[in-house]
């Protein structure tokens, strides 16, 4: 068959699979009483690789739109929290039931939490096999997946060209963003990695969320014991959206949230959760939160994510305003200056990436 004839059937197969996932149809799903979480999502493994990257390789990572991951500080998953969230994950509506409220998850939330783009071209991991046959051979993935250990060895080289970029994206997908039940990476991902100049144009937020829903659905149905998908996203989403303080004042926070949570901050949060009686003891953060872009060296492009403040439910406000003028309330300025040192310990300067533009009553306007 010609490539055009094959594509017709491949497209139909994708439509059927997407319809199956969206229906959530599961005849008599097995009850799951699992008390121990088994997952291949390993932020610590990725963290070690990131520490070994050369300056040239870090620039290559930024050029692909993955620069925010260079600010990863969390090295371990809180498995008890992740399992608690999985029990409250509604795969049909893509939402979490927390504090007696259904909290929807969208690609914008992925951008707020991890800093990955929530707009652009759809990531399609299917197509003619002969288009990726050479790449499969280069990764020794003829009859099985791409080994994570092999990718680690390839990332240890000093080069920063297309081969490094492709191996890096595969490694990130296999260890953090879209891990599966196996300790390898699906060769189907090679379909959207044939042209590395297009990687920064993809909607990674939607892709990550779709894969997470698929993996959690399979877990709920009892089809697999290991939980796939980016569980770190769920963990950090919970920390940022459930308030334990009960304050109604604007709270300064870092965008993306990934930058705010290291091992020390997570340990403090978990201790506070136990003191209050366990997960879900706080309240939904419906209050407005002020956002500040941290770590300017990790920004992918000059026109990267902007600060937004008018957000009534974290993660569902416009991350990229119509213009590049950013309104910042005066309380945000004072709260940043007054916030504890631990919230800004790695901050080079509060406003080092902004130029003062104009002043209006009760607000500052900055031009990026």
The model's pLDDT over 165-224, given as tens digits with 9 standing for 90+, comes to 999 999 999 999 999 877 889 999 999 999 999 999 999 999 999 999 999 999 998 888
Burial of 96 (0-12, 13-18, 19+ CB in 10 A): buried
Q: Give the number of residues written for the chain.
A: 368
pLDDT band at 291 (very low <50, low <70, confident <90, very high): low
Nearest one of 138, 121, 281, 136 to 205, comparing CA atoms:
121
From 34-48, 249-263, 279-293, the region with the lowest mean pLDDT: 279-293
Q: What is the mean pLDDT of residues 102-128?
A: 95
Residue 275: per-residue pLDDT: 92
Residue 55 scores a pLDDT above 60: yes
Q: pTM above the 0.75 mark?
A: no
Helix H or strand E encompassing 357: strand 355-360
Residue 350: per-residue pLDDT: 34
Residue 216: per-residue pLDDT: 94
Residue 258 scores a pLDDT above 70: yes
The model's pLDDT over 312-350, given as tens digits with 9 standing for 90+, comes to 333 333 333 333 434 444 333 334 434 444 443 333 333
* 146 vs 223 pLDDT, higher one: 146
Distance CA 243, CA 232 (A): 18
Distance CA 145, CA 148 (A): 9
| For the chain, domain boundaries | 43-294
* 174 vs 285 pLDDT, higher one: 174
As a dihedral over the C-alpha atoms of residue 290, residue 293, residue 294, residue 295, rounded to 10 degrees, the angle is 180
Distance CA 342, CA 294 (A): 13
């Amino acid at each position: 068959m010609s490539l055009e004839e094959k594509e017709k059937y491949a497209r139909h197969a994708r439509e059927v699979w997407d319809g199956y996932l969206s229906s959530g149809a599961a005849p008599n799903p097995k009850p799951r009483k699992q008390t121990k979480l088994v997952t291949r999502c390993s932020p610590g493994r990725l963290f070690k690789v990131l520490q070994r990257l050369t300056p040239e390789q870090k620039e290559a990572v930024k050029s692909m739109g993955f620069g925010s991951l260079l600010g990863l500080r969390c090295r371990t998953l809180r498995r008890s929290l992740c399992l608690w969230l999985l029990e409250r994950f509604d795969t049909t509506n893509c939402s979490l039931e927390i504090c007696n409220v259904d909290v929807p998850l969208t690609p914008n939330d992925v951008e707020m939490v991890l800093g990955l783009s929530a707009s652009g071209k759809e990531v399609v991991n299917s197509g003619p096999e002969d288009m990726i046959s050479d790449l499969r051979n280069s990764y020794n993935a003829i009859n099985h997946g791409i080994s994570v250990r092999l990718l680690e060895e390839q990332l240890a080289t000093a080069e920063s060209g297309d081969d490094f970029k492709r191996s890096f994206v595969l490694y990130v997908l296999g260890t953090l963003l879209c891990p599966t039940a196996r300790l390898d990476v699906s060769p189907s991902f090679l379909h959207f990695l044939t042209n590395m100049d297009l990687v920064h144009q993809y909607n990674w937020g939607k892709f990550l969320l779709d894969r997470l829903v698929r993996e959690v659905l399979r877990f709920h149905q009892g089809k697999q014991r290991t939980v796939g998908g980016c569980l770190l996203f769920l963990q950090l989403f919970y920390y940022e959206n459930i308030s334990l303080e009960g304050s109604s004042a604007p709270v300064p926070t870092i965008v993306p949230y990934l930058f705010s949570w290291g091992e020390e901050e997570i340990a403090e949060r978990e201790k506070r959760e136990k003191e209050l009686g366990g997960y879900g003891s706080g309240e939904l953060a419906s209050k407005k939160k002020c956002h500040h872009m941290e770590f300017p060296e990790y920004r992918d492009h000059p026109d990267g994510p902007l600060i937004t403040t008018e957000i009534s439910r974290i993660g569902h406000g416009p991350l990229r305003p119509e213009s590049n003028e950013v309104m910042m309330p005066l309380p945000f300025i004072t709260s940043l200056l007054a916030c504890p040192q631990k919230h800004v310990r790695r901050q080079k300067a509060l406003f080092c990436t902004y130029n003062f533009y104009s002043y209006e009553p009760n607000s500052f306007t900055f031009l990026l």
